Amino acid sequence: MAPGRVLAIAGSDSSGGAGLEADQKVIAAHGCYAMTATTALTAQNTKGVYDIHFVPPEFLRKQIDAVIEDVGVDVVKTGMLGSAETISTIADALVHHAVSTIVIDPVMIATTGAHLLPASALRILHARLLPLATIVTPNVPEALRLLENATTETEENGKLAAAGVRTVDDLVAIARAIRRLGPRWVLVKGGHCPFKADGTAAPEGAEGEGERERVVDVLVGGGGGDGGEGEEEVVVKMETGYSAIASNLAKGMEMPAAVRTACRYVQAGIRTAPGLGGGNGPLNHFHSVYALPFSPGHFLEYLLERPDVAPVWETFVNHPFVLAMGDGTLPVESFKGYLIQDYLYLIHFTRANALASYKAGSLKDIAAVSLPRVSVLQDK
């Protein structure tokens, strides 16, 4: 079976921690085939961006045409675009090649603080690229900037942008407002706005150091794509990776599952980061490539989402008895019957183990079959 084909259109990071270099690592780590079209070359490291050389739009278009016309593409993922001319060139190419799945990471500000997208390009981004997007993935500062510069529903968007983020509900409102700009799905990444345990925004700076307990990402989308209230699905999760989302989509995952799996991938990448450089260093992009088919620490999720396990687990957790026990509506007599049944089962289980111990041929076997019996008796 051919791997999913992902074309990353972005800038090159000479230090290898972001941009096309990181995209290719992530795509490869997900078992997909990575292709690239370079929008810019950067002189940067973990501490900062020192210079940028933009690729002429005409040459960028040749790169895109060359790979799509030969290899083909399942998903296009964009990153640093840099200029209005570059955005228009990419939009023209995506329409020309009828690309159906597009992940837009609206890179505007580098982790180091460098500005990567001029204000003059935002109008073209709104008009040409957002309406083509399958999903757009801004962080909080980028999301607010998208709303500030939107040409539709200006007053409402301006109010949202001015108010900022105080609760998770604010993230949802911002995501819904961006969705009305055209993309089918919107993921607002909340890493720049950590929350306290009660779900309200933690103070900035040293004042909120001990109160930053939750990082929430909000995914809004689905339905018919027009942003109607009845058609939206909101999924709240933690840290997310955009090339990981593109790779999961290329492998045929539905959007919520693609985002959830990307969350886990990036969480593990952060936990196992190599610690390179003196600034904001790279993740460990290949943490799960060596042997495991799941991200470290997420075996249970992997197991329960397997197609041969998920239906059984779904039947179990949604059994009427389990649901009634969970919401407190289970009749007392039914619960008593359950306890009696469990008691009788444990009695016969203990007796069976006692018989097995009696028939065992060695002390080792006697000890092995005795342990469950001792545990049951202690519990009772």
Residue 142 is which amino acid? Answer: E
Torsion (CA) 104, 121, 49, 147 in degrees, nearest 10:
-60
Task: Note the pLDDT of residue 279.
Answer: 83
Domain ranges of the chain: 5-293, 319-379
Strand-pair category, 33-44 with 5-13: parallel
CATH number of 5-293: 3.40.1190.20
Q: What tokens does 312 get?
A: 């059984």
Q: What tokens does 228 get?
A: 């109607």
- Only one residue has tokens 């959007």, namely 255
Task: Note the pLDDT of residue 135.
Answer: 96
Strand order in the sheet with 5-13: 49-54, 33-44, 5-13, 75-78, 102-104, 135-136, 185-188, 217-221, 233-237
How many whole angstroms separate alpha carbon 45 and alpha carbon 97? 35
Task: Note the pLDDT of residue 217.
Answer: 86
Cβ neighbours of 111 (radius 10 Å):
14
Q: Note down pLDDT in tens along the chain; length 380 residues.
A: 678 999 999 999 999 988 999 999 999 999 999 999 999 999 989 888 899 999 999 999 999 999 999 999 999 999 999 899 999 999 999 999 999 999 999 988 766 666 778 878 988 999 999 999 999 999 888 898 898 876 555 666 666 666 677 888 888 889 999 999 999 999 998 776 777 777 777 776 655 566 667 778 889 997 654 454 545 565 554 444 568 999 999 999 999 889 988 888 888 888 888 888 888 888 888 888 766 788 888 999 999 999 999 999 999 999 999 999 999 999 999 999 999 999 999 888 888 888 888 888 888 888 887 776 566 556 65
